[in-house]
Chains A and B, each alone.
Chain A
Amino acid sequence: MSNLRLINETSTTTGVASLSVTDVFSADFDIYKITFTNTELASLDWVEFRFINSSGSVVTSSQYDEAVLELDTGGAFGDGRETNDTNFSRLIRSQTTEAKGGVATMYLFNPFLSSSPTFGLVQSMGVISNGFGSKGIFILKELSSIKGFQIYLNSGNNINKSTIKTYGLRVDS
Chain B
Amino acid sequence: MPFGYIGQNQTKQQVKNSGVLSSFDISLLEKKGEAGGSLELIQEINQSSSVSSIAFTNLGNYDVHLLQYSEVQGSDAELQGRLSNDGGSSYISSSNYQFAMQYGQAGGSFGERRSTGDTKFNRFTKTGNHTGATGQGYIYFYNLLNSSKYSFLTTMSFSMDNNPYGILQFGGQVLVIAETHNAIQLFQNTGTLRGIFKLYGVKQI
Contacts and interface: CB of A to CB of B under 8 A. Distances in A.
- Among B114, B156, B205, chain A packs the most CB atoms within 10 A around the CB of B114
B102 A99 contact: no
B39 A131 contact: no
Interface residues of B, number: 49
Contacts of A72: 100, 114
Contacts of B37: 1-5
Contact of A6 (B1, B33, B63, B153): B33
Contacts, number: 149
Contacts of B202: 4, 35, 165
Interface string B1-26: 10000000111111000000000000
A135 B171 contact: yes
Interface residues of A, number: 48
Interface in B151-205: 152-154, 156, 170-174, 176, 178, 200, 202-205
Contacts of A2: 37-41, 200
A14 interface: no
Interface string B23-49: 000000000011011111100000000
B174 A131 contact: yes
A101 interface: yes
A103 B98 contact: no
Interface stretch (A47-55, A119-127, A141-149, A151-159): A119-127
A71 interface: yes
Residue among B1, B12, B102, B156 with max Cβ neighbours from chain A (10 Å)? B12
B170 A123 contact: yes
Contacts of B149: 38, 98-99, 101
Nearest to B39: A2
Contacts of A28: 12-14
Given A37-B143, A125-B153, A168 B173 contact: no
A42 B172 CA distance: 23
Nearest to B170: A135
A9 B33 contact: yes
Contacts of A76: 112
Q: Which of B39, B99, B152, B156 has the most CB of A within 10 A?
A: B152
Interface of B: 1, 9-14, 33-34, 36-41, 63-64, 98-102, 112, 114-116, 140, 142-143, 146, 148-150, 152-154, 156, 170-174, 176, 178, 200, 202-205
